[in-house]
Amino acid sequence: MEKFDAVIIGSGAGGAPIAYELVRAGKSVLVLEKGPLLRTQDESPTGLSDFKRDELFGYGTEKIIDVPGVANRGAPYFPSHVEPDLNDEPHIYAGLDEQNPIATTEGFTAQVVGGGTQLYGAVHLRFTREDFRLASFNQGRANLPANRFTDPDVSIIDWPFTYDDIEPYYLKVEELVGLNGTTQGQLKDFKGQNKYQTPLAPNPISAFAKAGMEAIGGTTYRTPLAVITEDHAPSGRTAGNPKTSYVNRYGDPMGYKSNTWVALLRPTLRDPALAPLLTLRCNCHVTHLSANGATVNQVHYRDPSGEEQIVEGKIVVVACSAIESVRLLMLSCEQDRANFGARFQYQQSGGLLGRYFLTHCFGGAEVALLGRRFDKSISLDSDFATDLTASPAFIQANNLWAGAAIYNNTSDQALPLSLGRTHGSTDLDSLWQGFMGDTSIIGDGFNAWMDRDLGTRLSVSFMGNQIPWFRNHIRLHSSTDKWGRNNAYIVKDWHPHDRVLMDIITEQCRRILELGIPAGQRSNIENGSVKDQGVRIANHILGGARFGPNAGVSVLDASCKAWNFDNLYVTDGSCMPTSGGANPTHTIEANAFRVADILKTRI
Amino acid sequence: MAVDVLPTLAQSVYNQSAKHLARTDPEARHNYFGHLTSPNQGRFPEGWRFPVVEPFFDPNNEQAILDWNLVTFVYRVEDNARHPQTVSVIGDMDGSRNPIALVRIENSRYWAVTVRLPSRRIYDYLYLVDNLPVLDPVNTRHRLAANIHNPRPQGSDERWSYFWTDYCTQAVTFELWEQILLQRLTNHILPFNSRESRIFLENLDPSKLGGSRGRVYRLDLSLGVVNYIDKLLAGPEQHQRAGYKVCLAQINTLLRQRNPYQEPRDVPEEMYVALYNDLAANNVPGWNFNAYANPSYFLRLLRRHTLMGAFSHPKYGGNSAGYGWDYLAERFPPFDWRQGVEKPWGTSTEYRG
Ligand SMILES: Cc1cc2nc3c(=O)[nH]c(=O)nc-3n(C[C@H](O)[C@H](O)[C@H](O)COP(=O)(O)OP(=O)(O)OC[C@H]3O[C@@H](n4cnc5c(N)ncnc54)[C@H](O)[C@@H]3O)c2cc1C
């Protein structure tokens, strides 16, 4: 049987940094990736990229859900070109009451080499010092509401390392992956070092957001974005003009967006000294792992035409994005309950695999500027951010357990179809419904609608910690995918304290717009958060296999190794015990680099 | 003229096929509750993506991306242990109607060939598997095309699989009368009909727009929106096709009832306004609710399709000559869609499409 030093499953944020490092340490690595290898323009044999600046690539035409037994059978959905077909491979979601489960596209990042980093908005924030130590931070706090924190299902644990431990890896990501931004104004300690490239001029509309952030007492900084603005030596990329607004949910045909393919895997394969050590097999779907005692000895996958294949790795790294990673482990448990299953305490009391599933407390405020129009189609995803609501002082003063980052969105609703798709919709599952039903948008009413909304809308968002709650979990659903494997079932709701946190930070976002734009120059401010909307899982897929100090409270140890295995690691967002007060990818990548340093000593 | 056969790249074939064609589950998960009657009854998602049509780039000819497509035919063998000796594709791709051979891609289930074909056309084809003609088992589009040389025994099925290349304006879904009804309905939704918009459209100076405007015929059909919907309902949203047909027939009948003296295509604008409002209210006097239960749903669908047709990339058959985008740029400055988009539509000096 084919054998590699390491087999890595998933080529996104959690997987690629490990491949990058292990190959450079002289180890042989196989990356198995379910999705295709979509190329940038300069590397494509046809001279054209497989990604397009084409609105129908971000959200396609209508498909219809036909999954037996779900409440939204017959409902439409509009997937991007790199999301799975829902009738082949759905995620099933229900609230804690488990009534009326639905099939959803939420919780799939992107099934392509690079994973979610191909489609992401590329907002690349560090977490704060407190984000890593929320248990300690909250210890003995008198002002936390007891009625919310005596819930025995809430279990907050510190990360198994500190900000200072991960700081060098943040720096490494900033340098190797290729980010632009400014350090000044951030709450995070950069220890005097700055690897950011220089940000491009902000879109003029963002000046209002900046003014508002300052008016509520925040210091602002340019939102760190994983987009190169200058030639990037570590990945051999040349800079160009990335400001197009085909950013969030679009792969970048030019490769300026720093995803894990162009930043980490491609440079490795292009280096003649390293290439022989890295094997990338895309369009290969891993179905399960099997173990001999504590050693995972076989990785089973389906090749591009569906044949079963098996490979072996001295170590096996699972990084499929949290929901799919947990599912892969559970399916492996199902295959071998006696050994594999028992080692995860699968379906036994005390078993934690799939528990403490997390996304983010997320929301914000939005307004239309009156009498002014900007070209939002010439922009990246965000221009300004503030850590005001992430500071310990703010958290304490507001009786919260954790904080959040706030940033403005620049590229949203910049293009005509996106205006129609998102008109009055609150989540991926209700796209188009608002425009379709608003039958007054015709003729001159159409002009009036565009006058109001095209290039006038300004929004600020927050990304806040969600409480780790035992009840929020991933398990297997009775429905099966196109390989006959059980689908993932996500049961999740907002803890009462999440709701409080969202209300408080939403209000800050509202004030930013209120104070940032003179009255009379703006429409009514709309504000809200996911707690009141259909968004249940969205794009930040975290937890479910958290790391911690011991097997009693966690699934993985500090090195991301599954407690009762010798060679099984999980390095995507599922290891996170708290979701952090910022978008997760920077931390997922930094942690993967950290784990890679440990793995080098173990192979 | 013989077809240009290009190198068929294994990586590309896998990229295009694995998500859709690799599977073990034999169920028909993709027949849209029985709406699709393809030979495989909906076993594969997005069968309309096959054969795979991609843009074609020629570094020495900016025009080539408008004039040509790369088309990859993929034939999936059901049992990987029993491959045919030969697989080829026959149809009107090749002036000489010679079969074009597919090659097996490594030791996979896939046989494939990539050819370069003119854009703006519909092609009918069959696979010859060990010389036996078969419909494409994946593509859900097939039609009667008796006029081309049929390799099948006389009297047997005359259906052919078909596809179209970019910028195609030949109708595949709608009859002319349906197109005209749709044109009038979508005109009413779009802004181009309002007074200020009409002035804008009349004053468009084609010489300033650059590129290859004017190549697109059927400009009269609502900036190509009807053509866009025609293709949409034959491909990605095939499941909506039957409903559209029923609704258009009903609208035709209703308009004739409401005004027996004029053809529906010629009735005054007010009648379409009244009809639009009735549909919006889901209260359409004379509507046969047994035939189609929810007329307002049809209107909502038409609204989405109209917006997509007016403002999506012109290669999909709408937004003729990019006029939809031009309209937005002129009417809602400083919106400048051109800077990020490829030539000849846009002005990007980097991105090629
Ligand atoms: C539209 C969008 C916008 C986003 N914006 C931001 C943002 O601005 N900032 C931010 O920080 N984050 C953002 N995210 C989230 C970000 O993409 C994820 O946090 C990140 O990619 C997660 O890394 P991961 O390693 O957990 O998973 P991924 O990067 O998604 O990688 C998982 C990979 O595993 C593969 N895989 C899954 N199952 C299997 C299997 N069985 N066999 C083989 N391979 C498999 C998948 O195809 C995928 O390539 C966004 C996500 C989306 C979808």
Q: What percent of chain A has pLDDT over 90?
A: 95
Residue B289's pLDDT is what? 95
Tally of CB atoms within 10 A around B116: 16
Residue A73's pLDDT is what? 96
Question: Between chains, do A46 and B56 touch, taking CB under 8 Å as contact?
Answer: yes
Question: Between chains, do A420 and B23 touch, taking CB under 8 Å as contact?
Answer: no
Residue of B nearest to A68 (CA): B29
pLDDT, mean over chain B: 89
Q: What is the largest CA-CA distance in chain B?
A: 66
Does residue B220 carry a pLDDT above 60? Answer: no
Q: A154 and A134 in contact (C-beta within 8 Å)?
A: no
Q: Could you give the ipTM of this predicted complex?
A: 0.96
Residue B216's pLDDT is what? 33
Choose the residue to mutate in A124, A126, A320 for probing ligand 1, maximizing ligand atoms within 8 Å of C-beta.
Answer: A320
Split at pLDDT 50, 70, 90, the class of B200 is low
Q: Is the CB of A209 under 6 A from ligand 1?
A: no
Does residue A27 carry a pLDDT above 50? Answer: yes
Split at pLDDT 50, 70, 90, the class of B211 is very low
Does residue A534 carry a pLDDT above 90? Answer: no
Amino acid in position B181: L
Split at pLDDT 50, 70, 90, the class of B218 is very low
For the CA of A301, the nearest atom of ligand 1: 42
Using DSSP's 3-state secondary structure scheme, residue B106 falls into coil
Q: Is the CB of A122 under 6 A from ligand 1?
A: yes
How many A×B Cβ pairs under 8 Å? 214
A60 touches chain B (CB under 8 A): yes
Chain B residues with CB-CB distance to A35 below 8 A: 19
Residue B207's pLDDT is what? 54
For the segment A53-70, the average pLDDT, to the nearest whole number, is: 95
Q: What b/e readout covers A270-302, taking b as 16+ CB neighbours within 10 angstroms? A: eeeebeebbbbbbbbbbbbbebeeeebbbbbbb
**What fold is seen in the domain B4-164?**
Immunoglobulin-like (2.60.40)
Paired strand residues for A8 = A31, A317
Per-residue pLDDT tens over the stretch B113-130 = 999 999 999 999 999 999
The span from the CA of A540 to the CA of A360, in Å, is 7
Q: Is the CB of A540 under 6 A from ligand 1?
A: yes
Question: Between chains, do A483 and B23 touch, taking CB under 8 Å as contact?
Answer: yes
For the segment B236-247, the average pLDDT, to the nearest whole number, is: 96
Which one of B45, B57, B189 has the shortest CB-CB distance to A46?
B57
Residue B238's pLDDT is what? 95
Residue A376's pLDDT is what? 94
Does residue B205 carry a pLDDT above 70? Answer: no
Does residue A547 carry a pLDDT above 50? Answer: yes
Residue of B nearest to A56 (CA): B312
Does residue A102 carry a pLDDT above 90? Answer: yes
B305 closest CA partner among B223, B233, B219 = B233
Per-residue pLDDT tens over the stretch A248-287 = 999 999 999 999 999 999 999 999 999 999 999 999 999 9
Per-residue pLDDT tens over the stretch B147-160 = 677 788 776 778 99
Question: Between chains, do B336 and A377 touch, taking CB under 8 Å as contact?
Answer: yes
Residue A411's pLDDT is what? 85
Which one of A41, A61, A87 has the shortest CB-CB distance to B30?
A87
A417 touches chain B (CB under 8 A): yes
Per-residue pLDDT tens over the stretch A404-426 = 999 999 988 899 999 999 998 77
Q: B230 and A479 in contact (C-beta within 8 Å)?
A: no
Per-residue pLDDT tens over the stretch B25-67 = 988 899 998 887 666 678 999 999 999 999 999 999 989 999 9
Split at pLDDT 50, 70, 90, the class of B327 is confident
The span from the CA of A428 to the CA of A422, in Å, is 9
Q: B285 and B277 in contact (C-beta within 8 Å)?
A: no
Helix A585-600 to helix A163-173 angle (10° resolution) is 100
For the segment A523-529, the average pLDDT, to the nearest whole number, is: 94
Q: What angle do CA A561, A562, A563 make, to 5 degrees?
A: 105
Residue A312's pLDDT is what? 98
Question: Measured in angstroms, how far is the CA atom of residue A119 from the centroid of ligand 1?
Answer: 8
Q: Is the CB of A498 under 6 A from ligand 1?
A: no
Residue B219's pLDDT is what? 40
Choose the residue to mutate in A284, A321, A427, A589 for probing ligand 1, maximizing ligand atoms within 8 Å of C-beta.
Answer: A321
For the segment B253-274, the average pLDDT, to the nearest whole number, is: 94
Split at pLDDT 50, 70, 90, the class of B215 is very low
B299 closest CA partner among A442, A418, A72 = A442
Domain ranges within chain B, ordered by starting residue = 4-164, 176-340
Split at pLDDT 50, 70, 90, the class of A218 is very high
B300 closest CA partner among B217, B243, B353 = B243
Question: Between chains, do B29 and A282 touch, taking CB under 8 Å as contact?
Answer: no
Per-residue pLDDT tens over the stretch B279-298 = 999 999 999 999 999 999 99
Residue B4's pLDDT is what? 93
Q: Comparing A7-21, A175-189, B157-171, which segment has the lowest mean pLDDT?
A: B157-171
Helix (H) or strand (E) holding A396: helix A392-397
Tally of CB atoms within 10 A around A161: 15
CA dihedral B211, A380, A583, A84 (to 10 degrees): 0
What is the residue with the minimal CA distance to atom 47 of ligand 1?
A111
Split at pLDDT 50, 70, 90, the class of B209 is very low
Residue A430's pLDDT is what? 80
Question: Between chains, do B351 and A254 touch, taking CB under 8 Å as contact?
Answer: yes
A455 touches chain B (CB under 8 A): yes
For the segment B3-10, the average pLDDT, to the nearest whole number, is: 93
Q: In A, residues 321-340, which contact B (CB 8 Å cutoff)? A: none
Residue B226, both tokens: 């009807």
What is the residue with the minimal CA distance to atom 41 of ligand 1?
A286
A68 touches chain B (CB under 8 A): no
Q: In A, residues 22-41, which contact B (CB 8 Å cutoff)? A: 35-38, 41
A55 touches chain B (CB under 8 A): yes
Residue B150's pLDDT is what? 78
Q: Is the CB of A580 under 6 A from ligand 1?
A: no
Phi, psi (5° rounding) for residue A355? -85, 165
For the segment A164-186, the average pLDDT, to the nearest whole number, is: 98
Taking the whole predicted model, whether its pTM rises above 0.95 is answered as yes
Question: Measured in angstroms, how far is the CA atom of residue B115 from the centroid of ligand 1?
Answer: 34
Question: Rounded to a whole number, what is the distance in Å from the CA of A501 to chain B's nearest CA?
Answer: 37
Residue B308's pLDDT is what? 97
Question: Measured in angstroms, how far is the CA atom of residue A110 from the centroid of ligand 1?
Answer: 6
Q: In A, residues 340-379, which contact B (CB 8 Å cutoff)? A: 373-375, 377-378
Residue B202's pLDDT is what? 65
Residue A473, both tokens: 């979990």
Residue A295, both tokens: 């050693």
A442 touches chain B (CB under 8 A): yes
Which one of A74, A254, A416 has the shortest CB-CB distance to B311?
A416
Question: Measured in angstroms, how far is the CA atom of residue B203 from the centroid of ligand 1?
Answer: 48
Q: Is the CB of A37 under 6 A from ligand 1?
A: no
pLDDT, mean over chain A: 96
Residue B154's pLDDT is what? 74
Chain B residues with CB-CB distance to A420 below 8 A: 304, 307-308
Residue B214's pLDDT is what? 39
For the segment A79-107, the average pLDDT, to the nearest whole number, is: 94
Per-residue pLDDT tens over the stretch A305-328 = 999 999 999 999 999 999 999 999
Q: Comparing A103-112, A218-227, A357-366, A466-475, which segment has the lowest mean pLDDT?
A: A103-112
Residue of B nearest to A483 (CA): B24
Residue B39's pLDDT is what? 62
Residue A113, both tokens: 């080499």
Question: Quick one: CA dihedral B114, B116, B120, B126, positive or negative?
Answer: negative
Question: Rounded to a whole number, what is the distance in Å from the CA of A194 to chain B's nearest CA?
Answer: 30
